Amino acid sequence: MTLLADNLSFSYTEDYIIHNIVFSIEKGDCLAVLGTNGAGKSTILKCLNRILEPRLGTVYINGRDSSLLKRSELAKKIGYVPQSHYCTRNTVFDTVLLGRKPYIKRDIRQNDIEVVEEILDLLGLDNYSMRYTDELSGGELQKVIIARALTQEPKVLLMDEPTSNLDLKNQIEVLNIIRKILKKKKISAVITMHDLNLALRFADKFLLLKEGKCFDFGDASIINPESIKKVYGVEVMIESYSGIPVVIPL
């Protein structure tokens, strides 16, 4: 088991933002975290990454309690792509190379350069390596941020709404790339999303949140008209098109 969240709970005050969250994913799985605005999706990612320290519960990575890991060790196991990001004026290569920081003790090694070059090639960014990040389109910059997280060589990739600011073409392209890398590198991903149809198209497992609690967790069968009505308050029908389920609001 790559990642296990056991009774994960967090609050700033007495009221919990997320409470008793339980799920697990295996190597190569892509988990979509779904729910309305304010349901706690981003908070879950931040607790998994220890940007926020959980009030209750434990996160296990390959059987190890993540709270016992040093920050540098955790950075080798979990890569994080935030919902919004700011890049200083650096080249694409140098920006992606920052992902190797947990491994660099004194000087950059040849292996660090080779890891960056491999990831740039996987994401189709090899021809962009000497371009500056402030010259890139939204889709290109999103790939750079994903590349930076992947150069950490993580066991788990956390992504907070990675397609929210992308057009349809770039949404499909970015998610296809992520799926390809998960299988090639045998890593897992936890992705927060708003678009149920994109989630059904690309994810293997699903975590439905309602008011900070786990409404349901499982495969695509949990995404049905009844669960959508209870979580989102919207009547829908689900039809299959070319073998892909499509959610249609009524």
Paired tokens of 133: 């990040």
**Cα 42–Cα 47–Cα 48 angle in degrees, nearest 5:** 100
* Domain boundary assignment for the chain: 1-77+155-224, 87-153
CATH superfamily membership of 1-77+155-224:
P-loop containing nucleotide triphosphate hydrolases (3.40.50.300)
Q: Is 9 exposed, middle or buried (0-12, 13-18, 19+ CB in 10 A)?
A: middle
Distance CA 67, CA 64 (A): 9
Q: What is the pLDDT along the chain (250 residues), one digit of tens a residue?
A: 689 999 999 999 888 999 999 999 999 899 999 999 999 999 999 999 999 999 999 999 988 999 999 998 999 999 999 987 777 789 999 999 999 999 988 889 999 999 999 999 988 898 999 999 989 888 888 889 999 999 999 999 999 998 877 888 888 888 888 888 888 888 999 999 999 999 999 999 999 999 999 999 999 999 999 999 999 999 999 999 888 899 999 9
196 Cβ contact list (under 8 Å, min separation 6): 34, 223, 228, 247
Distance CA 141, CA 51 (A): 23
- pLDDT for the residue 1: 61
Residue 146 near residue 178, CB atoms below 8 Å: yes
Paired tokens of 73: 């060790």
Distance CA 8, CA 54 (A): 7
